[in-house]
Structure 1
């Protein structure tokens, strides 16, 4: 009887420890089914997107210039762990194409191609811990960058970009 009791206690402790590890690493949260109904909707240069609470506090930057080059329009989360870049003009499109080629030609990046709303999304995982996704919504070229791996929250952000701007 004592062996069964101790075995049950050990089993419960192991399950609790695994659950705590999954919660602390974000595995449960980021890979759970996502309901974006309560997410905050933002708009930048006519493009709407929804963000979960962890990315909702941030800055909209229109007409951003870096090193003398117009880089486009950007949303940056407060913690600097999530970005959306929107490229609309011809100059911006060439910047988007250049960024995409740099990611594709970087031997240290891993690439994953997924399909959302019948659109191809190219996702690159860099050695810096950030992932970057490239795709088009209507006539706009979009680049999103986030800390970590591809997960259901990122998938839903991309899905909302398509549905809100169809």
Structure 2
């Protein structure tokens, strides 16, 4: 392999994980999927666990980038909140969604990547709290937890298309205060 082909190795890791899961994927599988020797793969990752963690980090970083963009958007608070939550849906319904092995990269209880998932959820919580603070919502930390729990519930029930309705309903129920811009919650 010439140049930094780490992305190629991680893409190959994703394809292997989709097929076999983390336990059954081997470095030989990753090498074969990348089209190089196993020793060449070791130039870019230390071992299989490192490849899996780097892949999980890449996926979570991309979704978090989208959440930050939504949080910073010049849009009504309800749209910003929905955009932040949509980043979690994007991650869960992305390229790994159809695989029975998705939990290995996306579950907070997963052995290899749970800490990455927990950090991502914590970051989303912080973005939601900031958005809700700007709208003067009472107990924004609790409201953010409710919004995240609802999002997780919709994902686990296979109904992410209800996210907008659910987030709007929760925001409507949070109170009758108005934001500094006069926006009704």
Give TM-score scaled by structure 1 length: 0.26
Richer in helix (by share): 2
Richer in strand (by share): 1
Give TM-score scaled by structure 2 length: 0.24
